[in-house]
Amino acid sequence: MVPRPEEINLLTGESDAQQMEAEEKPVSALDEPVSHWRPRLALNVMADNFVFDGSSLPADVHRYMKMIQLGKTVHYLPILFIDQLSNRVKDLMVINRSTTELPLTVSYDKVSLGRLRFWIHMQDAVYSLQQFGFSEKDADEVKGIFVDTNLYFLALTFFVAAFHLLFDFLAFKNDISFWKKKKSMIGMSTKLWKVKKALKMTVVWRGLRPVLQFGTYSESERKTEEYDTQAMKYLSYLLYPLCVGGAIYSLLNIKYKSWYSWLINSFVNGVYAFGFLFMLPQLFVNYKLKSVAHLPWKAFTYKAFNTFIDDVFAFIITMPTSHRLACFRDDVVFLVYLYQRWLYPVDKRRVNEFGESYEEATRTPHAD
């Protein structure tokens, strides 16, 4: 396979030395595949004393069986399965002219018939992905989900994902996340529009036609808007230096493949940081007003479940460390919100992050 480019420190002389080595090679040789060594060989032998029906042997196991005739009875030798799923691309070692020794670890383990058939199907599925046009890197990430994750935890993840899809369907059906009532476009940093000079805008749906209504801020809404702006200003003073400092620190201490790689990584970390920034004004507003907005229990349950669902996938999917940490930022905000919900009273006049006030939503309109 074509060797992966090595990561270098962009500010040291290592990059110059490697560039000189690359210049000495022909241009065509830079993209040529080279031999790699697999440092691990995993052997599995089926230990179950299972009697098969000779007329209906399972096709997946049959190709691994070797038969012998002992009298009138046909026996099969112990089934040997060479585990190819455990061979990851990241573990391959380049073989060059200076290589004199290479490590090899041979592992042996017994396997049950059910587990053997499962691994055979998974190995065939990964091979099918490559036949359908998936790159070796993509297929390797799929292998990592099954190899680097406990099977019981993996089964739990699939169950949680299925339950999450069902919960999303019920949430949409019961209008938990999409309210049919009017939505006030003021309040927190999640608002869609913002009208200055003490004006607010409300969208009222009449059938499929939205109607805009304008009004003025109440005293509570004005304070909420003021504290929201104040929180964003203070947090930006903290996060701007952190983002710049993190980019400089990574440039000095972390190796990258190129300057472009460092630039993209710095921008991504900035996106994660400001995504966390936009979650915090709600907590600051609760702290300043010493209250929390009313949130229906159905919506609260949906919010709680949707907050922690990403944590399960963060442990089984191959991803950068910064993205994995970003999956837990919702948890931190939600736990602080739970503490505020226990500490402060619920103000039903306040507008929540969905743009609704409980009192306005339950107020009976006049007959006129």
* pLDDT at 39 (0 to 100): 93
Q: Is the pLDDT reported for residue 199 higher than 80?
A: no
Cα angle for residues 311, 313, 317 (degrees, 5° grid): 130
Q: How confident is the model at residue 84 (pLDDT cuts 50, 70, 90)?
A: confident
* pLDDT at 174 (0 to 100): 59
The tens digit of pLDDT for each residue in 51-64 reads: 888 778 888 888 88
The tens digit of pLDDT for each residue in 99-150 reads: 889 999 999 999 988 888 888 998 888 888 888 888 877 888 888 877 777 7
Q: What is the DSSP string of 45-61?
A: EE---PPPPTTS--HHH
Compute the CA torsion angle 105, 110, 116, 118 (nearest 10 deg): -80
Q: How confident is the model at residue 180 (pLDDT cuts 50, 70, 90)?
A: very low
* pLDDT at 218 (0 to 100): 66
SS3 assignment, position 7:
coil
CA 311 to chain centre: 8
Which comes out higher in pLDDT, residue 139 or 352? 139
Percent of the chain's residues with pLDDT above 70: 75
Q: How confident is the model at residue 173 (pLDDT cuts 50, 70, 90)?
A: low
* pLDDT at 358 (0 to 100): 57
What average pLDDT does the structure give for the chain?
A: 76
Percent of the chain's residues with pLDDT above 90: 6
Query: What is the residue whose two structure tokens read 């420190």?
Result: 9
Q: Is the pLDDT reported for residue 207 higher than 60?
A: no
* pLDDT at 182 (0 to 100): 39
Which comes out higher in pLDDT, residue 198 or 209? 209
Q: Is the pLDDT reported for residue 279 higher than 90?
A: no
How many helices (H) and strands (E) in the chain? 12, 12
Q: How confident is the model at residue 366 (pLDDT cuts 50, 70, 90)?
A: very low
Among the residue ranges 151-155, 185-189, 236-240, 361-365, the one predicted with the least confidence is 185-189
**Over residues 315-336, mean pLDDT:** 81
Q: What is the DSSP string of 287-343?
A: HHHT-EE---HHHHHHHHHHHHHHHHHHTTS---HHHHHHTTHHHHHHHHHHHHHHH
Residue type, 246: G
- φ, ψ of residue 301 to 5 degrees: the values are -65, -40
Compute the CA torsion angle 153, 156, 157, 162 (nearest 10 deg): 170
Q: How many C-beta atoms surround the C-beta of residue 59 within 10 A?
A: 8
* pLDDT at 30 (0 to 100): 55
Q: Is the pLDDT reported for residue 16 higher than 70?
A: no
Q: How confident is the model at residue 275 (pLDDT cuts 50, 70, 90)?
A: confident
Write the DSSP symbol of residue 190: T
